[in-house]
């Protein structure tokens, strides 16, 4: 990925988030706006299109409705971005759910479960042998 592409992604992410906070889209599906996060942007190599990744606080808003509202207003946001950001061509915007946060949380849960299982297994083995085996080893300094 080129440095220019990365800069465009950063600028688009900041600008789209700012436009949403300023109320550029007045879609009721986007309320409360504070519960919605623009987590990332990936632009195509020719900068003609951008995938905008969105996440929302669970229980506050329905992410499917938020995505529907954002995609319905993508043209309005694209025009607003075009007015405020100097690019030869403003990329078309497509909003998608950011699955990375949910995936990361699932991995953390699995790792915690593995650690708990390993601890339980070690405890069960220690109970079966009559205690920890490290205490029964002779001290190498005693000679």
Q: What does the pLDDT read at residue 138?
A: 59
CATH label, 3-98, candidates 3.30.300.20, 3.30.1130.10, 1.10.3720.10, 3.40.630.30: 3.30.300.20
Q: What does the pLDDT read at residue 137?
A: 56
CA distance 11 to 91: 12
Which residues are CB-contacts of 70 (< 8 A; sequence separation ≥ 6)? 25, 27, 30, 52, 54, 77, 95
β 36-43/92-97 pair status? unpaired
55 φ, ψ (degrees, to nearest 5): -135, 160
Q: What does the pLDDT read at residue 71?
A: 94
From residue 2, how far is each of 43, 45, 78, 85, 118 by CA, in Å?
Answer: 11, 9, 22, 19, 44
pTM of the model: 0.69
Q: What does the pLDDT read at residue 135?
A: 53
One digit per residue, pLDDT tens: the chain, 143 residues?
688 889 999 999 999 999 999 988 888 888 888 888 999 999 999 999 999 999 988 778 888 999 999 999 999 999 999 999 888 899 999 999 988 666 566 677 777 788 777 888 888 787 777 665 555 555 566 55
Q: What does the pLDDT read at residue 14?
A: 95
49 within 8 A of 94, measured Cβ to Cβ: yes
CA distance 14 to 19: 9
């Amino acid at each position: 990925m080129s440095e220019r592409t990365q800069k465009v992604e950063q600028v688009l992410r900041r600008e789209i988030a700012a436009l949403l906070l300023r109320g550029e889209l007045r879609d009721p599906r986007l309320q409360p706006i504070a519960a919605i996060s623009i987590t990332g942007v990936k632009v195509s190599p020719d900068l003609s299109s951008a995938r905008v990744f969105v996440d929302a606080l669970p229980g506050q808003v329905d992410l499917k409705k938020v995505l529907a509202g954002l995609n319905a207003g993508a043209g309005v946001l694209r025009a607003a971005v075009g007015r405020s950001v100097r690019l030869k061509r403003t990329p078309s915007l497509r909003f998608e759910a950011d699955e990375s946060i949910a995936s990361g949380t699932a991995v953390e849960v699995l790792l915690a479960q593995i650690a708990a299982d390993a601890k339980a297994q070690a405890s069960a083995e220690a109970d079966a042998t009559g205690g920890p085996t490290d205490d029964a080893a002779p001290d190498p300094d005693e000679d």
